Amino acid sequence: MIKRLLQEVKEYKTASILTPIFMIGEVIFETLIPFIMGLIINNGINGNNGKGDTNYIVMMGVIMFVFALLGLIAGMGGGITGAKASTGFAKNLREAMFRNIQTFSFANIDKFSTSGLVTRMTTDVTNVQNAYQMILRMCIRAPFSMICAMAMAFYISPRIATIYLIAVIILGIILVFIMLNANKYFKQVFRKYDDLNESVQENVSAIRVVKAYVREEYETDKFHKASNNVYNMFVKAETIISYNSPVMQITVYTCILLISWVGAHMIVNANPTLDTGELTSLLAYCMNILMSLMMLSMVFVMVTMSAASAKRIVEVLDEKSSITNPQNPIFEIKDGSVKFDNVNFKYKENGKNYVLKDINLDIKSGETIGIIGGTGSAKTSLVNLICRLYDVNKGKVLVGGKDVREYDLDTLRNEVSVVLQKNVLFSGTILDNLRWGDENATEQECIAACKLACADEFIEKFPEKYNTYIEQGGTNVSGGQKQRICIARALLKKPKILILDDSTSAVDTATDAKIRKAFAQEIPNTTKFIIAQRISSIESADKIIVMENGEINGFGTHEELLKNNEIYKDVYESQTEGSGDFDENGGEQ
């Protein structure tokens, strides 16, 4: 895990190396200052037979000032490089996670909730960033400071230094016990963060529904529950860690009392083995050692908190897409023909039931194929296999006479253009959104695609026309307008296969008919799959697929299905009588 994280330090290696060096320099100078203070007391104030030596005091004072200044500069340097290294590391982690998420198949994305990924890229990365900075600065500074201070203490008085050693051992045992108990709660708390973020995300994205059904109080209670779960976990963890401070304080004050008592006896004995200056230095080193332990305890707290976060980040970084390019991919698709050869598919490898069962279809290039079926009949699942949004479990899907798994992914998805069931527009102008289909498309090409999708009818009425700004999620355009922009965006790719997944459901029947007529006249060589609930949207298709429970119940022309397929006939009759829906529940799969 640590090795994987450190791979993202990259260009910040220099800053990461300089930070500990600066910290070591700061410690060396800080360690020398108490020693010089002892010399000033012994040789300056008490020197020259008790009369004092002003010149010696001034000289050593200047040296002490220089050491203090150099220690300050080293500390500042460590702070600057540490901040640069940790923030850069965090930036690289976020970018690496985001890049890897872009490669995920739908099956990979299904493993991580949206709120979970947001938590990983925000809270978890921030925790790792703080821990990394603490490790570079405090984790180097504190042990080195403790070792230097301990060495100087043993040099001055081994007897008193033994007190430090015993204190360090006792404190170390207590700190390990505290950290081990706190860690189990920190591991759980970030899963609770996922629930909290999910509550916020769901509420904000569905705020219109919440207000329409006057469910604000219910959503507030749900958020309060998620927030309380985070609070309770943190309280448990922080309660355990709170013992750290009193234990440290008791140890510090006990050490000071013991050193003062033992040191005083050593000074006032008939044969003194310690002088005042040395005792002063030892007290300073006592504070150095115990403050270093305090710093180490803070590092342990931060590392303990970040350990769970680091594991969650690495889970995303190490996740490999279940859909990848073959070793020698094909970069050209001959035509838009599609063949399903005994296809069986389920979303999870360990799932019991197949979503699609024994699918066999042979569709020629340029044909228009309608797909109709009840809710949950796997219409969307069927077309998702064409562009490898998922891979089949058994059998194979062929496009242009080749198994889709043999193609380069970008090539395949550029030639198979999909207008998904859930239409998404991004913040930016209409032109910006259209150029998702082809980033190099000219304005004239965008206008031509919009005419084909009957989107120019309303775009031309906007004051800014194609430069009209679309709000995030397309909230300032209607559902039908959004659908037509999405269709135009897909057409800009000039695909060999076009899939419309119930993409004209919000469009009136007259406009729907215009779009279908334009498709027949302007893109006759493009294979078109049209998923619809209205039979009027697909009755002119070359062939129509009737889906039921993941199987093909019927396949033929409108006239053939009216004669031979009871499901299709019932739907047609119900819709011509005015019902208009495929089934009572509505919706899509």
Q: What is the pLDDT of residues 180-222, one digit of tens each?
A: 777 777 767 766 777 777 777 777 777 778 778 787 888 888 8
* Cβ atoms 530, 517 nearer than 8 A: no
The C-alpha angle with vertex 69 and arms to 64 and 75, in degrees rounded to 5, equals: 125
> Rounded distance, CA 281 to CA 289, Å?
12
Taking Cα atoms as reference points, which of 489, 492, 517, 521 lies closest to residue 503?
489
* Cβ atoms 124, 190 nearer than 8 A: yes
Q: Which of 62-66, 258-262, 425-429 has the highest mean pLDDT?
A: 62-66
pLDDT of residue 81: 92
Over the stretch 254-265, which tens digit does the pLDDT of each residue have?
888 888 888 787
> Rounded distance, CA 521 to CA 525, Å?
10
User: Range(s) for CATH 1.20.1560.10 in the chain?
Assistant: 2-187+241-318
pLDDT of residue 190: 66
At residue 578, φ and ψ (nearest 5 deg) are 115, -5
> Rounded distance, CA 283 to CA 277, Å?
10
User: Range(s) for CATH 3.40.50.300 in the chain?
Assistant: 338-576
Decide if pLDDT at 472 tops 80. Answer: no
> Rounded distance, CA 285 to CA 469, Å?
66
Answer with the residue of higher pLDDT: 506 or 149.
149
Superfamily of 2-187+241-318 according to CATH: ABC transporter type 1, transmembrane domain (1.20.1560.10)
pLDDT average, residue stretch 92-106: 86
Region of residue 328 (left: phi > 0; alpha: psi -120 to 50; beta: else): beta
Taking Cα atoms as reference points, which of 156, 150, 129 lies closest to residue 27?
150
**Side chain identity, residue 280:** T
Q: How does strand 428-429 pair with strand 469-470?
A: antiparallel
Strand stretches in 375-481, DSSP E: 394-399, 402-403, 416-419, 428-429, 469-470
DSSP annotation of 319 reads P
Taking Cα atoms as reference points, which of 537, 572, 536 lies closest to residue 554?
572
State both tokens at 341: 């050869």
* Cβ atoms 433, 426 nearer than 8 A: yes
Residue that the structure tokens 């004995």 belong to:
269
Report how far apart, in Å, the C-alpha atoms of 290 and of each of 243, 251, 461, 518 are: 16, 8, 74, 80
> Rounded distance, CA 166 to CA 170, Å?
6
pLDDT average, residue stretch 231-255: 79
> Rounded distance, CA 443 to CA 243, Å?
67
Those residues with Cβ within 8 angstroms of residue 273's Cβ, 6 or more apart along the chain or in another chain = 157, 159, 266
Answer with the residue of higher pLDDT: 44 or 343.
343
Count of all residues that appear for the chain in the document: 589
Q: How does strand 543-548 pair with strand 368-373?
A: parallel
Lowest mean pLDDT among 82-86, 263-267, 551-555, 583-587: 583-587
Residue 440 pLDDT class (50, 70, 90 cuts): confident
Taking Cα atoms as reference points, which of 497, 222, 211 lies closest to residue 337?
497
User: CB atoms < 10 A from the CB of 587, how many?
Assistant: 13
Taking Cα atoms as reference points, which of 436, 566, 451, 463 lies closest to residue 514?
451
At residue 391, φ and ψ (nearest 5 deg) are -105, 150
Those residues with Cβ within 8 angstroms of residue 32's Cβ, 6 or more apart along the chain or in another chain = 67
DSSP annotation of 41 reads I
For 86-103, b/e burial (b = at least 16 CB within 10 A) is bebbbebbbebbeebbee
Decide if pLDDT at 362 tops 70. Answer: yes
The verdict on domain 338-576 having CATH code 3.40.50.300 is: yes
Measured in whole angstroms, the distance separating CA 498 from the mean position of its chain's CA atoms is 32
* Cβ atoms 417, 498 nearer than 8 A: yes
* Cβ atoms 30, 83 nearer than 8 A: no
DSSP annotation of 440 reads T
String of DSSP letters for 439-477? TT--HHHHHHHHHHTT-HHHHTTSTTGGGPEEPGGGTTS
Answer with the residue of higher pLDDT: 313 or 278.
313
pLDDT of residue 46: 67
Taking Cα atoms as reference points, which of 63, 38, 243 lies closest to residue 157?
38
* Cβ atoms 525, 444 nearer than 8 A: no
State both tokens at 413: 């998805």
Answer with the residue of higher pLDDT: 533 or 90.
90
Decide if pLDDT at 585 tops 50. Answer: no
pLDDT of residue 506: 67
- The three-state secondary structure class of 330 is strand
State both tokens at 186: 């920190």
Answer with the residue of higher pLDDT: 375 or 554.
554
